[in-house]
Amino acid sequence: MKRAGISTSVVLALSIALLAAAPPVRADLRVLAPPDGAVLVRTPVTLIGNGASASVEVTVTTPKAVGTSVGKLSGKAFTAAVNLDPGENVILVKSGDQSQRVVYTFAPEDQSPRVYRFHPPVADGDCKACHPQGVGRTSPVSEAKLCHACHDPKTGAKILHGPLGAGICSSCHDPHGSSNPRFLVLNVRALCIQCHAQSRSQAHIERSGSKSCPECHDPHGSNKQYLLY
């Protein structure tokens, strides 16, 4: 019994030592847009990502062919133009010892709401409209001021929705693109309950049935309590 106990202790100690000595798993490389699983209607498509540790290589495997391209780096951020074939396209993005696999479906005739659409400056290739100091660098002005350069301010109401009051438009809207209306980061119900997950909010949502939250509540601001219209 004593030997078994010593043996177990030794094995445990060795296991801990090996785990401590193992290099940490790196997961910095990330494709920001389009997201994995996106349905696209145009090609070439621009991949936008960050976390690159070295040059970025993008390999596309389609039902018909394999193609490789090199991304453009700006610090750790990168962009890459990728040609797609109709159907499912498997894409492997590599940078140093890191990699990420994403799958896009290219469906030129698809007009459904699920189609991924780029924010107009991204679609026009005008990255400097939002990144005047270069891709991957934050704008020298606040997020709200940057957005208001193109979009009318929604700050006229007496009561502002929290994200708008804080000037953080990207809490709800993706600045690169989305498969949701108005470039929302999630569908409306999922987006609202990210913050409004209190028990009373859940009960209210259940009583409302199939209503969408913005049918009654202004997502930007209101002169009435609870952001009611």
Rounded Cα distance between 32 and 131, Å, is 15
- List the domains of the chain with CATH numbers: 30-116 (2.60.40.10), 143-227 (no CATH)
What is the pLDDT at residue 153?
A: 94
Whether the Cβ atoms of residue 56 and residue 44 lie closer than 8 Å to each other: no
Whether the Cβ atoms of residue 66 and residue 60 lie closer than 8 Å to each other: yes
What is the pLDDT at residue 14?
A: 52
% helix / strand / coil in the chain, to the nearest 5?
30, 30, 45
Per-residue confidence in pLDDT tens, the chain, 229 aa: 444 455 555 544 555 555 455 555 456 899 999 999 999 999 999 999 999 999 999 999 876 767 888 999 988 999 999 999 999 999 999 999 999 999 999 999 998 989 999 999 999 989 888 988 877 777 778 899 999 999 999 999 999 999 999 999 999 999 999 999 999 999 999 999 999 988 888 899 889 887 999 999 999 999 999 999 9
What is the pLDDT at residue 2?
A: 47
Whether the Cβ atoms of residue 205 and residue 193 lie closer than 8 Å to each other: yes
Give phi and psi for 80, each to the nearest 5: -155, 135
- Say which residues have a Cβ less than 8 Å from residue 118's Cβ, sequence separation at least 6: 33, 34, 46, 176, 177
Closest CA to 40 of 150, 155, 164, 177: 177
116-147 tens-digit pLDDT:
999 999 999 898 889 888 777 777 788 999 99
